[in-house]
Amino acid sequence: MRVEEALALADSLCQVANDSVGEEPAMQSLLYYQRAIDVMTGNDTAFLARKVKIYTSMGELFAGQMLYKEAIGRYQLAYGCAESLKDTFNMISAYKCLGDMYRKQIDLGESVHYYDLAEQLAIQANQEKPRISLALRLATAFMEGGRMNLAVELLPKPPYHVEPEDKDIYNYVMWHIYNFTDREDKDSADYYMQKLLESQDSYYQNYVIDWQIGQALRNVGDHAFYQLYRNNKRLQSAMSKEQVAETTSAVSTMYQALNMERQNAELQARNQLIKYYAIIAILLLVLVVAITVIIIYRIINKRIQLEHTTTMTIRDSEIYQQLLATEKAMNEVEQQEVIALLNQVYPTFLSSLQKMGVEKEQDLKVCLLLKMGFKPSRIASLVSRTDSAIANTRARLYKKVLGKDGKAEDWDKVIMSL
């Protein structure tokens, strides 16, 4: 059969198939489409172009019957023919349809894969029109995968034009946004839900009806709802929209009554849980306070023990006893012994004095003897000065180092802290 004859026969068969859609069972139309494919043998350009359209139509018929696996096969054939023709527009369309079919099969990974391939082709071909359509589909795939925030980010910034063939998926996306995100708006959600119920695509009709009835099941878990849901699924294809609405209304009424009971039970359980956590929190707080007190006590006790040990080390030393018993002023040798002892017990004491600018011989002696634990009257005897002179020295050093007036006792505290 010549190419022209094959094309003419194929066109006539396609016309019969197109005319029979809606009048005869879908499978009969598919037979006409398949006969049209069979008469076009070879890879003639005209044949390939016709096959793209026929395979696409067959895919649409299978999708309308919810035979998504079969639809995927036809869309893949349509893509193969479009690729041979380097027909980017139909390649994008085929990828988009494949993504739709995998999404309806709940294979979201494959769905996103084909949407992404379609988007890359659109970018390469500089075709802006498919971008909105693909963005809506990608958003839907991520929504159904539970990633609502990412889905909302993928949507184009409004305003944007939605093609008639994308109205269903647009309504589906908007219904999710107003129903399941922080943009909760019941009136808007109900509007888009009604649009989906009026859709010609049974996928979206069934999805919303299932959601309305399943909502009661998920929130209450009552056995009666489960039976009603199962019976409704069996009869759904034969039910009118009015019957579906009536059934859904009955379910909602029953759900509200049981939901009140569930909420009261949850409130009581929540109050019990709050009391339980409050008791645990108090016990933990008491435990933390007790541990803190024990730690502080041990630190203070350890410091006291250390100070006591240090004090005893100094007072038991030979130089301390010698200075305590002598009636003479402290000589150079004794001063060096005091310095050696303090370096051993307080390694940073002398360096701290130097940093504070205590350099005079008389001032240094007073500070050394204060650190040894001698009283001011005994220090006065050991450095051959009066008690008042020692008091003045201590007050002067306090003002010199700290830049403000203070008592002699204030300087003693500074020395003991070093």
Does one domain contain both 85 and 34? yes
- Predicted confidence (pLDDT) at residue 311 exceeds the cutoff of 70: yes
35-60 pLDDT per residue, tens = 888 888 877 888 888 888 888 888 88
Does one domain contain both 292 and 331? no
User: What's the CA gap between 35 and 240, in Å, rounded?
Assistant: 36
92-129 pLDDT per residue, tens = 888 889 988 888 888 888 888 888 888 888 888 887 77
User: What's the CA gap between 308 and 293, in Å, rounded?
Assistant: 22
DSSP track, 198-215: T-S-HHHHHHHHHHHHHH
Kindly report the CATH number assigned to the domain that includes residue 197: 1.25.40.10
User: How confident is residue 284, by pLDDT bands cut at 50, 70 and 90?
Assistant: very high
- Predicted confidence (pLDDT) at residue 252 exceeds the cutoff of 70: no
Helix-helix angle 202-220:223-235, to 10 degrees: 170
Tokens of 69: 């696996």
Whole-number percent of the chain with pLDDT over 90? 6
Query: Number of structural domains, the chain?
Result: 3
Domain ends where: 167, 193, 211?
211
179-188 pLDDT per residue, tens = 877 777 788 8
- 75, 94 Cβ separation under 8 angstroms: yes
Does one domain contain both 187 and 103? yes
Does one domain contain both 52 and 170? yes
Does one domain contain both 156 and 297? no
Tokens of 39: 């008469």
Does one domain contain both 33 and 129? yes
Does one domain contain both 257 and 198? no
Does one domain contain both 308 and 403? no
Degrees to nearest 5, angle at CA 160 with 155 and 165: 85
- Predicted confidence (pLDDT) at residue 231 exceeds the cutoff of 70: no
Helical spans, DSSP H, in 221-348: 223-235, 241-315, 318-325, 332-345
Domain ends where: 277, 297, 316?
316
Does one domain contain both 226 and 290? yes
Domain ends where: 146, 180, 211?
211
Helical spans, DSSP H, in 21-67: 26-39, 45-64
The predicted pLDDT at position 286 comes to 92
User: How confident is residue 395, by pLDDT bands cut at 50, 70 and 90?
Assistant: very high
Question: Is the bond preceding residue 159 a cis peptide, omega within 30 degrees?
Answer: yes
- Predicted confidence (pLDDT) at residue 317 exceeds the cutoff of 60: yes
Question: 384's torsion region: left (phi>0), alpha (psi -120 to 50) or beta?
Answer: left
- Predicted confidence (pLDDT) at residue 233 exceeds the cutoff of 60: no
Does one domain contain both 324 and 275? no
- 66, 58 Cβ separation under 8 angstroms: no
**Which residue, chain included where needed, has tokens 């700290």?**
402
Does one domain contain both 242 and 355? no
* Nearest alpha carbon to residue 91 among 65, 130, 61: 130
User: What's the CA gap between 78 and 335, in Å, rounded?
Assistant: 105
* Domain ranges, residue 158: 3-211
Does one domain contain both 254 and 128? no
